[in-house]
Structure 1
């Protein structure tokens, strides 16, 4: 199980990020928590946490989702900072690898139908 990549944000990952980087806990009506806590003004903080705080794979995956959503908001709001580029490059490379894995799994699944 340790070598498998997460497919979605888990409750365990949320609990870990709430504790480790002080993100707001989901309430009873939360859905897509990673989008609820995204914040374009905190991209730098999220990148710092991704690189410097000890996180497991599930937590890194969840934080990656938050970073992507936050960065997207920053783009839409015109608040992108050049200092994010190198950190985001590394993260986006990891995302591309993950997307490729998901794509291959999807192809295999489609052949089964």
Structure 2
């Protein structure tokens, strides 16, 4: 059952990432990888929120492991970092890396605290 929940959620998350990334890539012409940054930051906040809700294991599997796992992408983050390095975009690489980690962790913590505002 949990395998199916993770798989269904992963499908939904991957479709969302593909759709959101495609839309952002059409709107931006920057060496900064805004599409991946946006989906990763959105996923950080949403995963924090789901974690802060203390939902049942089945919901965490569907949403946390599945949807957020399919939406966010650590491998593409690394690949884009490598491309920035190869293209000698060292300042962009530094900003992208620092922002991804610091903003991502901050958004996770913010998302985790978010449900407490309403309880």
Q: What is the TM-score with the length of structure 2 in the denominator? A: 0.37
> Which protein has greater RCO, CA pairs closer than 8 Å, 6+ apart?
2
- Give the number of the structure whose residues are more often helix, by fraction: 2
Structure-1-length-normalised TM-score? 0.38
